[in-house]
Amino acid sequence: MDRKLHHSATRRHALRRLVAVGAAGGGMLGLLRAALAADPATGVRSIKGDVTIDGQPASIGQKIAPGQTVRTGAGSEAVFVIGMDAFLQREDSTFAIDSVTGPRTGEVVLRYITGKVLSVFGKGRKRLITSTATIGIRGTGCYLEVEPAGTYFCLCYGSAVVQSNANPRLRQLVRTRHHEAPLYIDTGTNALAMARSQVINHKDAELVMLEGLVGRVPPFHGKEYQGY
For the stretch 42-70, pLDDT in tens is: 899 999 999 999 999 999 999 999 899 99
The residues, any chain, with a CB within 8 Å of residue 195's CB and separated by 6 or more, are: 183, 184, 186
Residue 57: count other Cβ atoms within 10 Å of its Cβ: 10
Of the candidates 197, 114, 120, which has an alpha carbon nearest to the alpha carbon of residue 154? 197
Residue of 166 and 226 predicted with greater confidence: 166
Tell me, yes or no, whether 226 lies in a domain. Answer: no
In total, how many domains does the chain have? 1
Q: What is the mean pLDDT of residues 192-214?
A: 94
Range of the structural domain that residue 66 is part of:
3-213
Its pTM surpasses 0.75: yes
| Residue 134 scores a pLDDT above 80 | yes
Of the chain, the percentage scoring pLDDT greater than 70 comes to 76
| Residue 104 scores a pLDDT above 80 | no
Estimate to the nearest angstrom the gap between the alpha carbon of 179 and the chain centroid.
14
3-state secondary structure at position 12: helix
CA distance 149 to 161: 20
Tell me, yes or no, whether 228 lies in a domain. Answer: no
Q: Which of 32-36, 48-52, 124-128, 207-211 has the lowest mean pLDDT?
A: 32-36
The pLDDT score that the predictor gives to residue 99 is 72
| Residue 228 scores a pLDDT above 90 | no
- Work out the widest C-alpha separation in the chain, in whole angstroms: 54
3-state secondary structure at position 1: coil
Q: In this structure, what CATH number is given to the domain that contains residue 67?
A: 2.60.120.1440
Tell me, yes or no, whether 153 lies in a domain. Answer: yes
Tell me, yes or no, whether 172 lies in a domain. Answer: yes
Tell me, yes or no, whether 222 lies in a domain. Answer: no
The pLDDT score that the predictor gives to residue 12 is 56
Tell me, yes or no, whether 205 lies in a domain. Answer: yes
Tell me, yes or no, whether 227 lies in a domain. Answer: no
Residue of 126 and 12 predicted with greater confidence: 126
The pLDDT score that the predictor gives to residue 72 is 98
Q: What is the mean pLDDT of residues 97-122?
A: 85
3-state secondary structure at position 41: coil
The pLDDT score that the predictor gives to residue 38 is 46
Tell me, yes or no, whether 221 lies in a domain. Answer: no
**Looking at residue 169, what DSSP letter applies?**
T
